[in-house]
Structure 1
Amino acid sequence: MESKKVKQLIKSYEETYIFATRQLHDAIAEQILGKQGISFEQFLVLRYLAEHGACSPNHLATVLSVHKSAISSKINRLLEKNLIHREKNHKDQRVFVLTVTENGEKVYQACEQKLENLVSNWLEILGEEDSEQFLTLYKKISESVIQKTKGE
């Protein structure tokens, strides 16, 4: 691909990423930062647990591509806010398992609804055909990045 197109793609991605990240962060912040005092990254931990069920802190660090020491502070903050619960694994007492509390589930559901509304608005602006093209291209790019990351 020619250099000019590559530079245009990088610039476009940067602008979209910054805008989309800000919009997502603001949608989450409106729901949880003010009320619950947690960060967007902490919400991602809560979201993963709500969608995938109980798991260990090590597993969370791996799937969220976060260093193990960084995940600990996120987990501790969510524990303090009673959004998640930590208990020993019944199979291996040396390992802890994290689950979402009832309060955490309520926060997750409210935030998830906000995110769905936000993304629905974006897709509505694009229209049906462009939305499908965007999703197809986004999936191709995501798969390509994941494959290259795993191959390195």
Structure 2
Amino acid sequence: MESEKIKQLIKSYEETYIFATRQLHDAIAEQILGKEGISFEQFLVLRYLAENGESSPNHLATVLHVHKSAITTKINRLLEKNLIHKEKNQQDQRSFVLNVTENGEKVYQACEQKLEELVSSWVEILGEEDSEQFLALYKKITASVIRK
């Protein structure tokens, strides 16, 4: 591919990443999470626990691709809000595992429903075929980045 075309792709990616990703993040945070008083990153922790069951902080840091110190802050905020709770790990009494509370499950379900409604409205705008093509391309890009 010619050099000028590559430069255009880089510029386009930069604009899309900076603008679209930030707008997406802000839309989710404002429309869905702001009402529940949690950040997008806290929601990702809550969502993982709600969908996968108990987990250790180390495992959460790994699957969410964040530093262990960052996951501690997110966990503490969710504990303060009574959305998750911790208990001793039955296999290793020196550590603990995290679970979603009943209140956390309610918040997760409410946020998930709003998220589905938001994404459905985007699919309506793009159309099903363009949405599927976008996801296919996004998966290819992700796989390419992971291989490197």
TM-score (norm 1): 0.85
Contact 1:31/1:111 (8 A) holds in 2: yes
**What amino acid sits opposite 1:30 in the alignment?**
Q
**What amino acid sits opposite 1:31 in the alignment?**
I
What value does the CA root-mean-square deviation take over the aligned residues?
Answer: 1.8
TM-score (norm 2): 0.87
d(CA) in 2 for partners of 1:31 and 1:123? 18
Contact 1:82/1:104 (8 A) holds in 2: yes
State the match for 2:126 in structure 1. Answer: 126
Stretches of structure 1 lacking an aligned partner (at least 5 in a row):
none
State the SS of the aligned residue for 2:54. coil
State the match for 1:14 in structure 2. Answer: 14
Contact 1:28/1:111 (8 A) holds in 2: no
Listed as ranges, the matches of 1:2-151 within 5 Å are 2-17=2-17, 18-36=19-37, 38-148=38-148
d(CA) in 2 for partners of 1:104 and 1:29? 19
Identity %: 73
Cα 1:146/1:74, change in 2 over 3 Å:
same
d(CA) in 2 for partners of 1:91 and 1:50? 21
Cα 1:118/1:105, change in 2 over 3 Å:
same
Contact 1:28/1:40 (8 A) holds in 2: yes
Stretches of structure 2 lacking an aligned partner (at least 5 in a row):
none
d(CA) in 2 for partners of 1:146 and 1:44? 20
d(CA) in 2 for partners of 1:15 and 1:122? 19
Contact 1:82/1:101 (8 A) holds in 2: yes
Stretches of 4+ moved more than 4 A in 1? none
